[in-house]
């Protein structure tokens, strides 16, 4: 019998399952990861969804084929969930599956304003600073010329997303772990994380707090972990996805950070080779009849945190 998700103090044979009730949008999702472990190695995974007021875990299960225990740590600030597994040499299989209820917050974009740094909550100021992949300080002149004269508020962040969508080519395999927002601004090509990094950097250059989000995305083809960003406007974090690949109401949060460096789905210490990664996400029609509001992007402002 393989190892199951545990807290640090749980017995080795424990399996933790969370249950709850939710009558909003409901999805079933998960991932399967397979690795070849050459020598004893440590893996830190960030693949499990978070729980908050808008995203409720109905049921979940994480386990591996290893006899070693899996320890869980939940960060107090973001709620990110990290799992540590010390794996012996051999083949390692990790499986995560969850049912989640999503209750997005919708608002009229025309009523959403920007918050001046003087009025921001102190814990939000952290998301104004440049970070490893989002060098907003190097983009100040460009951003001021492109967006500085636009009306402040939700519409200005929408204009940022429109610019990215119109000017940056989405191309799988076009970037790597070293690609930054500045690189994307110059090369005009990237994937979802690059689109998110550029949106974050542009927002921060305008003194709009912005943060990176990773997670599962309904309808993404081929299935993969997806990235988008959130901007702090009108006292709330609103989501933005410049790729426009999936509906906003089909985004389920896994990790939140200043940029992708904070939310890697796997951080590995040791000689490890990934053999396979498979993701899935299905809508559960028993929760609520599927409608066009789920299938296509909306012009309404949406928050899921």
Domain assignments of the chain as residue spans, ordered by start = 5-103+264-283, 105-262+296-303
Fold of domain 105-262+296-303? C8orf32 fold (3.10.620)
Q: What is the pLDDT of residue 67?
A: 86
Q: What is the pLDDT of residue 272?
A: 97
Give percent above pLDDT 70 in the chain: 89
* Phi–psi pair at 260, nearest 5 degrees: -65, -20
Q: What is the pLDDT of residue 189?
A: 98
Give the mean model confidence (pLDDT) for residues 29-36: 98
Q: What is the pLDDT of residues 256-279, one digit of tens each?
A: 999 999 999 999 999 999 999 999
| Average pLDDT of the chain, as a whole number | 90
Q: What is the pLDDT of residues 172-227, one digit of tens each?
A: 999 999 999 999 999 999 999 999 999 999 999 999 999 999 999 999 999 999 99
CATH of domain 5-103+264-283: 2.60.40.2250
Q: What is the pLDDT of residue 19?
A: 34
Q: What is the pLDDT of residues 46-98, one digit of tens each?
A: 999 999 999 999 999 999 999 889 999 999 889 999 999 999 999 999 999 99
Q: What is the pLDDT of residue 4?
A: 46
Whether the predicted model's global pTM rises above the 0.85 cut: yes
Distance of CA 107 to the CA centre of its chain: 21
Q: What is the pLDDT of residue 294?
A: 56
Q: What is the pLDDT of residue 291?
A: 54
Contact 18, 61 (CB under 8 A): no
């Amino acid at each position: 019998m393989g190892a199951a998700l545990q807290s640090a103090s749980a017995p080795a044979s424990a399996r933790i399952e969370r249950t709850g009730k939710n009558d909003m949008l409901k999805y079933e999702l998960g991932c399967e990861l397979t690795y070849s472990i050459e020598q004893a190695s440590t893996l830190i995974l960030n693949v499990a969804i978070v729980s908050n007021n808008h995203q409720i875990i109905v049921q979940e299960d994480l386990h591996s084929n290893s006899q070693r225990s899996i320890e869980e740590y939940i960060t107090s600030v973001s709620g990110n969930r990290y799992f540590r597994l010390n794996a012996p040499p051999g083949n390692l299989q990790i499986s995560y599956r969850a049912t989640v209820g999503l209750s997005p917050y919708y608002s009229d974009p025309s009523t959403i304003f920007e918050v001046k740094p003087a009025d921001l909550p102190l814990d939000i100021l952290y998301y104004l600073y440049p970070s490893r992949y989002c060098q907003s300080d190097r983009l100040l002149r460009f951003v001021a010329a492109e967006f500085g004269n636009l009306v402040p508020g939700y519409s200005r962040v929408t204009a940022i997303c429109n610019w990215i969508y119109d000017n940056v080519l989405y191309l799988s395999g076009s970037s790597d772990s070293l690609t930054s927002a500045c690189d994307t601004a110059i090369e005009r090509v990237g994937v979802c994380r690059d689109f998110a990094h550029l949106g974050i950097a542009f927002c921060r250059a305008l003194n709009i707090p912005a943060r990176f989000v990773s997670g599962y995305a309904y309808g993404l083809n081929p299935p993969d972990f997806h990235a988008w960003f959130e901007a702090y406007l009108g006292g709330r974090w609103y989501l933005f996805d410049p790729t426009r690949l999936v509906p906003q109401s089909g985004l389920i949060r896994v990790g939140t950070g200043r940029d992708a460096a904070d939310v890697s789905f796997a951080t590995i210490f040791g000689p490890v080779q990934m053999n396979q990664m498979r993701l899935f996400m299905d809508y559960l029609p028993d929760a609520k009849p599927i409608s066009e509001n789920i299938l296509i992007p909306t012009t309404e402002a949406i928050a899921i945190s």
